[in-house]
Structure 1
Amino acid sequence: MFFLYLALGLLGLIAGGWIGLYIWPRPFPAYDAPQAKIETVPMPPNLPTPVERYMRAVIGKDVPLVHSAVITGRANMRFGPLPFLGRWRFVHDGGHNYRHYMEATLFGRRIMKVNEHYLDRIGRMELPVGVIDNDPKINQAANMTMWAEAMWFPSVYVTDERVLWEPLTAHSARLIVPFEEGEDCFTVYFDPKTDLILRMEGMRWRDSKDEKQILWRLEPHGWVTINGVKVPSPASVTWVPDGKPWLICHVEDIAYNVDVSRYIRQHGL
């Protein structure tokens, strides 16, 4: 009888833990800081047709000059076979620096946190298993992440003079972004019905020990309008060989043109 009770108790613990993986945490509070007035400029000429259509679909006729963004939300995460729910805040100095703070939760409570940043061209990842700092492969991966996340403040794709677009087809284009003294690129596919981004893909490093880059995909699964800008939410992040997303971000708040000069170099929320 003792072993029966023990087995039932263990099963109860396992079942309870599994249920805890599906309880959403409370959202982080919206970032509370003064937002500078957003000026606008005309849409640049000579953009590839699908790019111009996309920009008009998400920001309208004129282009807002956005130099920073603080993006807050919750997420579905996957670490190996285990799914988690979590919450996150991403801080961007548009096209130059960023930092991430993420929490994975159980029963809505934090069980793991991640601090990572890309500041002054140097990437740093602070994970529960250790720290990786200023590794060339991680620097490239971080730069790709920074430009991909600009989908949440898309005007930087046409206001940053370092960014180039090359036409590919009627519904795709190559996005060329700066990286150190050179460049990197994405292939961006657009929906012919909505003009919005279907997905963007690029080759990047997953780990500092990898021997070759992996195809990496970001894919919007819905769109919401926040502060006058149409942004993807939810949006998934997938290492294509894995076949399924490891992260799905649900955006809940974006603060544009706030002073992030000190906040972007902090840790935690």
Structure 2
Amino acid sequence: MKRRWPVLALTTLGAYGAYRKYKDMTRLVKPTWPEVRHAGEVEQARTDNLPKPISKWLEVSGAVGREQVMGVYVKQEGWMKTKPDQEEWSESTAEQYSFVDPPSFYWKARMKVDGLFVTGSDSFRDGRAGMRIRFAGLVPINRAIPDGKLDESALQRFLMEMAWLPGLVFSPYVRFLNSNERSVEAEMTYNGSTANVTFEFDETGRMKRARAMRYKEVGEDAKRLPCIAEVHEWQTVDGIEIPRRIDITWIIDGQAFTWYKFTVEAAKFNPRVPDAW
């Protein structure tokens, strides 16, 4: 029995070392969130130099004349599919905080898969993305490995969600490129990554759709695929209209795969993140 103790100790030490190395190679971005940086009222004059569709959207949504939205909290009720051939939808609940300065978001969700609960988080801060999935909320079954493609995809997502963050149009990291009466391309460069998103507007000036070429996967073989966020309903929060019902769709081999559809059940502008987060 005495001879087994050194072997057991070495085995335990080796396992612990491997675990620490695994943690060092992977990452989960869950930072200490800053206070919202208030930026005053959005004056009409500030919108004059913006592309016409963006300026009209700010006016139609009610953002002009109100405090600039520099942060938002949303609570989502939704349905997910993890692969195109999945027949049934999995119900999910999610919460998210997003901020204009510094550009960041943290999303956490809970869904039921085959009768069992799975929790996940997706985050972006300091130009870095983080992702984690836990089985039954306890055992980690996936962590994101550092990858520039993941960072870029997270930045694409952040920019695509401008409809919740009108203040993002004034960010020094965002510039607007090609535009016409009903669409505009936005480019955002931050901490080594660049995202390009085309926003489309309906006849009333509402932001109807966001399109981007995003990485769905990571690794050497990963390729950018069309990703579309489409708004089907709107709601007004503190006088500003934001999306309420949204579908997120990937185009894979020419086929549309809607993997996430959700409604925003609650929202709050310029929130303070609870310490529990």
> TM-score category by the smaller chain?
0.7 to 0.9
Tell me which residue corresponds to 2:30: none
Tell me which residue corresponds to 1:104: 111
**Take 2:242 and 2:261, find their aligned partners in 1: how far apart are those partners?**
14
Tell me which residue corresponds to 1:117: 123
- After superposition, the Cα gap between the structure-2 partners of 1:36 and 1:46, relative to the gap in structure 1 and judged at 3 Å, is closer
1:127 Cα deviation after fit: 2.0
Could you say what secondary structure the match of 1:234 adopts? strand
TM-score, normalised relative to structure 2: 0.74
Within a 5 Å distance, the mapping from 1:113-262 to structure 2 comes to: 113-128=119-134, 129-157=141-169, 159-181=170-192, 183-192=194-203, 194-209=204-219, 210-241=221-252, 242-260=255-273
Could you say what secondary structure the match of 2:273 adopts? coil
Could you say what secondary structure the match of 2:57 adopts? helix
RMSD: 2.6
- After superposition, the Cα gap between the structure-2 partners of 1:166 and 1:64, relative to the gap in structure 1 and judged at 3 Å, is farther
1:57 Cα deviation after fit: 1.0
Matched pairs, number:
228
1:63 Cα deviation after fit: 5.1
TM-score, normalised relative to structure 1: 0.76
1:156 Cα deviation after fit: 2.0
1:64 Cα deviation after fit: 2.6
Unaligned runs of 5+ in 2: 1-34, 135-140
1:234 Cα deviation after fit: 0.4
Tell me which residue corresponds to 2:17: none
1:185 Cα deviation after fit: 1.1
Aligned counterpart for 1:83 among listed residues 78, 83, 89:
89
User: Is the contact between residue 100 and residue 167 of structure 2 (CA under 8 Å) also seen in structure 1?
Assistant: no
User: Is the contact between residue 36 and residue 258 of structure 1 (CA under 8 Å) also seen in structure 2?
Assistant: no
User: Is the contact between residue 227 and residue 251 of structure 2 (CA under 8 Å) also seen in structure 1?
Assistant: yes
Tell me which residue corresponds to 2:99: 93
**Identical columns (%):** 17
Unaligned runs of 5+ in 1: 1-33
TM superposition outliers: structure 1 runs of 4+ over 6 Å: 34-38
